[in-house]
Amino acid sequence: MFDGNWRTAVDRSLTPIGHSLRRTGITPDVITIVGIVMATVAAVTIGAGYLRIGLLFLLITGIADALDGAVARAADSGSQRGAYFDSVSDRLADALLFGGVAWHLASTEPGRIMMLPVAVMAAAMFVSYQRAKAESLGYEAKGGIMERAERVIMLALALLFPEILIPVLWIMLALTAVTALQRFVKVWRQASIDRPLPARRPRRRPRQRSRGRNESAWAQRMRERRALREG
């Protein structure tokens, strides 16, 4: 939802910052690594029970995630390698953050409620896989009510008000499941359109030598040999 409505405006507003960072010599990969480090610190802080401090590191993680793309665009250095690294780092950051939340709940809440953030993380990974697989097949699978930006915003809200952490996680799980269904239906419809198969070229049959020609040449050679013998 965020990508479809506000991504272009946010990217445009970050362009001057991207140019400034590029002039300092900072590369997009460095910013991506900073985001991974900040996500790790946020996970450990949240797991230790300092949720609002974890929120601070979560915000830094989100800023780094937004700025690496801005620097890449400013330097005109976007590449498949950079896009791959950025996508992998996003999945790693999600796993770290929700792992930290699960650790916190395991220490403070009874029962198996610690599995709730694990379920949210699994659903989020499934949503991301759907897009990756669809794009590898030539389909478009963006969109949905709960993408990564919405998950980060809702997690930040839950860390700011810890008393609503568990209800927010339930809402995130439900909306992420809806997003997975939305993407599945979107790709299914695209894949259901009949596409004409490429026309097959008829196979060329190997030329067969004329049997008559072979026999006449053999007969001529035999006549020449007889003539030589009789002569």
What is the spatial distance between Cα 34 and Cα 36, in angstroms, rounded to a whole number?
A: 5
Residue 93 domain-assigned? yes
Count up the domains in the chain and report the number. 1
Longest dimension (CA), the chain: 120
CA–CA dist 113, 203 (Å, integer)? 64
Of 138, 98, 116, 124, the C-alpha closest to 180 is 124
pLDDT (tens digit per residue) in 2-43: 565 666 777 788 888 888 888 888 888 999 999 999 999 999
Percent of the chain, pLDDT > 90? 58
> Is 84 domain-assigned?
yes
* Cβ partners under 8 Å of residue 117, min gap 6: 98, 99, 101, 102, 105, 169
Residue 100 above 70 pLDDT?
Answer: yes
Which residue of the set 65, 68, 86, 90 is catalytic? 90
**pLDDT value at position 162?**
94
Residue 207 lies in a domain: no
Q: Is residue 148 part of a domain?
A: yes
Q: Can you give the pLDDT at residue 175?
A: 97
Confidence of residue 146 (pLDDT cuts 50, 70, 90): very high
Which pLDDT score is estimated for 68? Answer: 85
Task: Choose the weakest-confidence range: 138-147, 196-205, 208-217.
Answer: 208-217
Q: Looking at the domain assignment, is residue 208 inside a domain?
A: no
Rounded mean pLDDT, 67-82: 80
Which among 139, 120, 138 has a CA at the least distance from the CA of 184? Answer: 139
Tell whether 200 is covered by a domain.
no
Amino acid 219: pLDDT? 63
CB-based contact 64:21 (threshold 8 Å): no
Range of lowest pLDDT (84-88, 117-121, 208-212):
208-212
Would the CA dihedral through 185, 186, 189, 192 be positive or negative?
Answer: negative
Per-residue pLDDT, 204:
63
pLDDT at 231: 46
CATH number for position 153: 1.20.120.1760
Instruction: Answer yes or no: are the C-beta atoms of 191 and 93 closer than 8 Å.
Output: no
Based on the residue annotation, tell me whether 3 is a catalytic residue of this protein.
no
Domain of 132? 2-191
